[in-house]
C-alpha cells in the first residue's frame, strides 16, 4: 500500500491488519477519520497515517431494523436489529461504527458514556472477505 494513499480503501486495508488508523495533517496538527488526502482546514497535503486509540466511549447510538445488504448477509435485520453508534475515542476524535455487546432490543438500557473498545469483525468468505470496524461495550 502506498503511504500517500489516504483513501477509504487504504483505511480498510489497515483494518484488515487490525489497525485503526487516521490521517494526520502535519501542518496544522488535525486528525481525520475517514482519512483525507488533503486537509480541509489548512489545505495542506502533508498527511501521515497515525494509529488511533482503540478505546473510547459511546456518545450516540441508534438501533437499526432495516439493514443494508452487507448487514443482512451478516444475519441482521428486522428480527435481529443491531446498534450503530458514534464513539468518541480517547483522543477526542469521533467515529461511527457498529456497537457490539449491547442488546439492540433493549435500547432503553443502553447508556451514553459506556466505555467501548475497537473490535475487528471479518465478514464474507475468501476473496469477498472484508474486515469491518466495530466497538464492543466493556
| 59-98 positions binding Zn ion, by CB under 5 A | none
Q: Indicate whether 25 belongs to the interface with Zn ion (CB under 5 A).
A: yes
Contact string 43-62 vs Zn ion (x = CB under 5 A): -x------------------
How many other C-beta atoms can be found within 10 angstroms of the C-beta atom of residue 132? 18
Q: Indicate whether 39 belongs to the interface with Zn ion (CB under 5 A).
A: yes
Q: How far is the CB of 36 from Zn ion (least distance, A)?
A: 9
Residue 42 or 121: the one with the smaller Cβ distance to Zn ion is 42
d(CA 137, CA 134): 10
Q: Indicate whether 1 belongs to the interface with Zn ion (CB under 5 A).
A: no
Residue 38 or 100: the one with the smaller Cβ distance to Zn ion is 38
Amino acid at each position: 500500500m502506498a503511504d500517500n494513499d489516504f483513501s477509504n480503501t487504504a483505511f480498510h486495508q489497515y483494518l484488515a491488519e487490525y489497525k485503526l488508523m487516521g490521517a494526520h495533517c502535519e501542518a496544522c496538527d488535525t486528525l481525520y477519520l475517514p482519512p483525507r488526502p488533503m486537509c480541509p482546514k489548512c489545505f495542506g497535503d502533508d498527511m501521515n497515517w497515525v494509529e488511533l486509540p482503540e478505546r473510547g466511549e459511546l456518545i450516540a447510538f441508534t438501533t437499526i431494523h432495516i439493514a443494508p445488504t452487507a448487514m443482512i448477509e451478516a444475519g441482521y435485520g428486522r428480527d435481529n436489529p443491531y446498534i450503530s453508534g458514534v464513539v468518541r475515542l480517547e483522543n477526542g476524535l469521533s467515529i461511527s461504527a457498529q456497537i457490539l455487546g449491547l442488546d439492540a432490543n433493549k435500547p432503553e438500557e443502553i447508556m451514553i458514556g459506556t466505555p467501548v473498545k475497537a473490535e475487528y469483525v471479518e465478514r464474507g468468505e475468501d476473496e469477498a472477505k472484508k474486515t469491518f470496524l466495530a466497538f464492543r461495550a466493556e
